[in-house]
Amino acid sequence: MPKILITEPIPDEVIAYLESFASVTIGKKGTYQSEEALVRDIPDYDGLLSMLSNPVSDTVLKAGKNLKVVANFAVGYDNIDVETAHKLEIKVANTPDVLTEACGDYAMGLLLALSRKFKEAEQYLRDGKFTGWEPLGFLGMELRDRTIGIIGMGRIGQAFANRARAFGMNIIYHNRAKLAEEIEKELEAEFISDHKELAKRSDVLSLNCPLTNETHHLVNQELLELMPEHALLINISRGAVIDEAALAQALHSEKIAGAALDVFEKEPEVHPDLLSAPNTILLPHIASATHRTREAIGMLAAKAILSVLEGKPDHEIPNLISR
């Protein structure tokens, strides 16, 4: 029987499915956030079901003497050295599509909470400061007719755009490639080729792009200075798309009006100046966290592992990351 390592507990249904064709080991929460632990244990396994918090580096992959497949429990796979995996003939798969709607809902939730100051207003009430209805209390930004600029108009960016449009927002976007005309029409979305121009025009700036060399610290001091003072920033992509020190500085000095962040550059660490920043919502990377979605993510990853272990050809392996 092949041996599979799942680095963290995942939904039971997925574990039962994997156990139907393999011997499965499940890591304790947090064990494999370090390269050392993976390097130590990986030689035993044919398949790895990794989390985005696991550094599946060059060293880890080289230590995986029996490793044939790594399936990431996520759509993003910047934690995996895909180039090395390909060199070593180890297949890599991710889990797109199944989390699109959960992430679209979540981004919209963040925007509503941020624009209407839910977090600060709730804290005010809990602190016993609510002494009666206030005509000037917690005035926020109404979304109708405001412009949302989306950086990264893949599946999740489009899901967010759809929801924002239902709230009467204008959609502008920046993406590696311009979308097909019929999709632009459906979303009533305007392509902006220069991301700085997009930042200038956005009342809300949303990051929905993968983390790559090009997007690393894309939101830096220069870009933040171009944003309008009333602008809000939302990030459910990857933390390192933002220079967190520059963002914290912009929030403290009120260069922008607020931020909702689901992801951080050095998770689980959060930049200390973000913790004290005004009008800032900080959440522990939970955009895809619904029962339905997490089960679907697990099943997709498990099916990719099974396909590889059965020796299926590449075109029959779900969501294989190609060379």
> What is the size of the binding site for ligand DGY (CB under 6 A)?
7
Candidates 288, 296, 298, 301: give the one binding ligand DGY (CB under 6 A): 288
Candidates 287, 300, 306, 309: give the one binding ligand DGY (CB under 6 A): 287
- DSSP readout, 212-232? -TTTTT-B-HHHHHHS-TT-E
Q: Give the Cα separation of 75 and 285 in Å (integer).
A: 13
Buried-exposed string 250-283: b where 16+ CB fall within 10 A, e elsewhere: bbeeebbbbbbbbbbbeeeebbeebeebebbbeb
285 catalytic residue (yes or no): yes
Residue of 63, 97, 66 lying closest to 81 (CA atoms): 63
Q: Give the Cα separation of 78 and 161 in Å (integer).
A: 24
Please say whether the beta carbons of 52 and 80 come within 8 A. Answer: no
Considering beta carbons, is residue 18 or 211 the nearer one to ligand DGY? 211
- Min separation Cβ 52 and ligand DGY, Å: 5
Binding of ligand DGY at residue 99 (CB under 6 A)?
Answer: yes
**Ordered strands of the 258-261 beta sheet:** 189-191, 170-174, 147-151, 204-207, 232-235, 258-261, 280-282
Neighbours of 35 (CB within 10 A): 16
| Catalytic residue from among 146, 174, 195, 238 | 238
Largest CA distance in the chain: 68
Binding of ligand DGY at residue 108 (CB under 6 A)?
Answer: no
Q: Which residues from 15-54 bind ligand DGY, rule CB under 6 A?
A: 52
267 catalytic residue (yes or no): yes
Candidates 26, 33, 62, 76: give the one binding ligand DGY (CB under 6 A): 76
Considering beta carbons, is residue 102 or 172 the nearer one to ligand DGY? 102
Binding of ligand DGY at residue 75 (CB under 6 A)?
Answer: yes
201 catalytic residue (yes or no): no
Considering beta carbons, is residue 77 or 255 the nearer one to ligand DGY? 77
Considering beta carbons, is residue 170 or 206 the nearer one to ligand DGY? 206
User: By rule CB under 6 A, what string of x and - marks binding of each residue 212-251 to ligand DGY?
Assistant: ----------------------------------------
Considering beta carbons, is residue 14 or 52 the nearer one to ligand DGY? 52
| Catalytic residue from among 146, 174, 201, 285 | 285
Could you give the residue numbers annotated as active site? Answer: 238, 267, 285
Q: Using CB under 6 A as the criterion, which residues of the chain lie in contact with ligand DGY when the complex forms?
A: 52, 74-76, 99, 287-288
